[in-house]
């Protein structure tokens, strides 16, 4: 199995990465580590409260096949988190796939991951002007940009971002990844049954609650 990590920082966006993380975890049975600079609670921009499974000090970035980075409406705390930036920078010369959406590519810029690489993002362009480590000449105004082992995306294209990452690792996601329309399905197709074995497993599990 491949190894995946999601980075956590203040005000991160769950919405931008859950198409990807749910497909990895539920469709394909992959394990995901949630890594942050400190072992403490992080609150998403939606208000979810999440604890990391590992800290940057406990993890080694090159142990992962892919590091997933959600956007954040408040990138400055992460941008000035030395432990987080150092963790990213330790993978600068590796084959780790960095998948960053929305504002998070600016963290890759500071860590040196985007040096000489094309990328996209939807942080405000004045922010790029404020930091000399952002190579604006390599900024491509497209929804998804792939350059080597870096995949970047604009937040509104979260499905396309998930597709790009999943296709990079060869997962079979079909032709209409999470885009089917309800009216395109028949009644039979929208009626769901367990297999006999799954139903028996459910009945066994149910006994513990029925006692």
| Domain harbouring 71, CATH code | 3.40.50.880
Q: Which two tokens stand for residue 146?
A: 């792939």
Q: Is residue 209 in a domain?
A: no
Instruction: Give dist(CA 190, CA 172) in Å, integer.
Output: 22
What is residue 142's DSSP assignment?
S
pTM above 0.85, yes or no: yes
pLDDT in tens, the chain (211 residues): 899 999 999 999 999 999 999 999 999 999 999 999 999 999 999 999 999 999 999 999 999 999 999 999 999 999 999 999 999 999 999 999 999 999 999 999 999 999 999 999 998 889 889 999 999 999 999 999 999 999 999 999 999 999 999 999 999 998 889 888 889 999 999 999 999 999 999 999 999 998 7
Helix, strand, coil percentages (3-state) for the chain, rounded to 5, are 35, 15, 45
Q: Is residue 128 in a domain?
A: yes
Domain count, the chain: 1
Give the domain range for residue 133: 4-180
Q: Is residue 196 in a domain?
A: no
Q: Is residue 198 in a domain?
A: no
Q: Is residue 70 in a domain?
A: yes
Q: Is residue 204 in a domain?
A: no
Q: Is residue 207 in a domain?
A: no
Q: Is residue 201 in a domain?
A: no
């Amino acid at each position: 199995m491949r190894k995946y990590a999601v980075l956590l920082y203040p005000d991160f966006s769950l919405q931008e990465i859950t198409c990807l993380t749910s497909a990895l975890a539920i469709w394909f049975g992959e394990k995901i580590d949630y890594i942050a600079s400190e072992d403490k609670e992080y609150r998403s921009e939606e208000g979810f409260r999440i604890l990391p499974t590992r800290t940057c000090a406990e993890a080694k970035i090159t142990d992962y096949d892919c590091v997933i980075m959600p956007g954040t409406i408040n990138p400055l705390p992460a941008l000035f988190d030395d432990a987080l930036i150092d963790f990213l920078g330790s993978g600068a010369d590796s084959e780790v796939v960095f998948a960053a959406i929305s504002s998070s590519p600016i963290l890759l810029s500071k860590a040196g991951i985007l040096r000489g690489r094309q990328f996209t993002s939807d942080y405000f362009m004045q922010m790029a002007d404020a930091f000399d480590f952002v190579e604006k000449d390599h900024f491509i105004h497209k929804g998804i940009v792939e350059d080597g082992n870096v995949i970047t995306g604009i937040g509104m294209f979260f499905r396309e971002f998930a597709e790009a990452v999943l296709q990079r690792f060869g997962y079979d996601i079909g032709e209409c990844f999470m885009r089917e329309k309800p009216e395109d399905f028949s009644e039979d197709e929208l009626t769901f049954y367990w297999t006999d074995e799954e139903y028996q497993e459910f009945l066994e599990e149910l006994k513990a609650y029925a006692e």
